[in-house]
Structure 1
Amino acid sequence: MLRKEANALTPQMYAELRQKVDFQEYSLEDVAKALEKTLFSVVIFDDHKPIGIGRIVGDDRIVFFIKDVVVDPEYQKQSIGYTIMHSLMNYIQEKACENAYIGLMATPNTEKFYEKFGFIQRPNQDFGHGMVKFVDKSYKIDNPMEDK
């Protein structure tokens, strides 16, 4: 029997489901620290087995980022993702101020799914490309304002 539970996401669930869909892996220590900063999360269970997750990070008023919407491949195409997004969007609707920003980075070929919730693809006539950068700890950023 499927059930939905708010704010039940654990590092183990996060890591296991992301691994099933070949998402970037992180140490459980890093995941635990990150989940402490989650504003809201939702987990879909089949009995006691977690089969879908999603979470929101941000400032809880003006900026929200939807992260880690993952559904176990065995359960995809069964409206699990829709249920996750519906829960996330309801949370944002309750907390957000007028004109708050909701961002997400869609994995390839999932854009149409997110359009069902009102998201738009970029670039378009009003907005440039969305951008992303991954941290490389060996990379040094020079500050041109510092004295050399």
Structure 2
Amino acid sequence: MNISENGLTWQIYSDIRKYANMQEYQKKDIVEALKNTLYSVVIYENENPVAIGRVIGDGRIAFFIKDVVVHPSYRKKNIGKIVVNSLLDYIESVSCENPYIGLMAMPNTEEFYEEFGFIKRPNELFGAGMICVERKNDKFK
């Protein structure tokens, strides 16, 4: 296994995300998104990419961990931990003190992220995390 920093290509991104049943995007959208990625990792076994992850955000205060996916044949082998630790190491190297680090866990992966100190929301301190999956213009008038 070897780790490639900032070597995530649109093709690897598209191919690996399919293993997690994630939303598919057009090549042009992936290319643009990857241009704006702060940091990414690809884990290879020989020449084959088996896991990915990336960080997006403002590069100092706010960071969001995205697209952490491990090929099904390589799960439960600590590869996901290598990905997340690499992403968190990057964040620690560039962030201010006490940065905001967020993520949206896929179903049934919450316990995995709790090992790194992430907490479930809502709780007594924080409201529910929210996403907008479809914007309806009439709701914003």
TM superposition score normalised by structure 2 = 0.95
Checking the alignment, whether the CA contact within 8 Å between 2:40 and 2:53 is kept in structure 1 is yes
**Aligned-residue CA RMSD in angstroms?**
1.2
Among 107, 112, 137, the alignment partner of 1:140 is 137
Cα distance, 1:64 vs structure 2? 0.1
In 2, the alpha carbon distance for the partners of 1:122 and 1:111 equals 11
Please list every run of at least 4 consecutive aligned residues from structure 1 whose deviation after the TM superposition is greater than 4 angstroms. 141-144
Structure 2 residue ranges without an equivalent (≥5): none
Residue deviations 1:114-135 (CA, integer Å, cap 9, x gap): 1111111111110000001124
In 2, the alpha carbon distance for the partners of 1:142 and 1:111 equals 31
Three-state SS of the structure 2 residue aligned to 1:103 is: strand
Cα distance, 1:74 vs structure 2? 1.1
User: Is 1:64 matched with 2:63?
Assistant: yes
Cα distance, 1:40 vs structure 2? 0.2
Q: How many residues align?
A: 141
Higher helix share: 2
Structure 1 residue ranges without an equivalent (≥5): none
Question: Where does 1:64-103 land on structure 2 (aligned, <5 Å)?
Answer: 64-103=63-102
The match for 1:12 is: 11
In 1, the alpha carbon distance for the partners of 2:114 and 2:107 equals 13
The match for 2:123 is: 124
The match for 2:40 is: 41
User: Is 1:28 matched with 2:27?
Assistant: yes
Summarize the Cα distance change of 1:118–1:142 in structure 2 as closer, same or farther, 3 Å threshold. closer
Cα distance, 1:142 vs structure 2? 6.1
Cα distance, 1:143 vs structure 2? 5.5
Q: Which of structures 1 and 2 has the bigger CA Rg?
A: 1
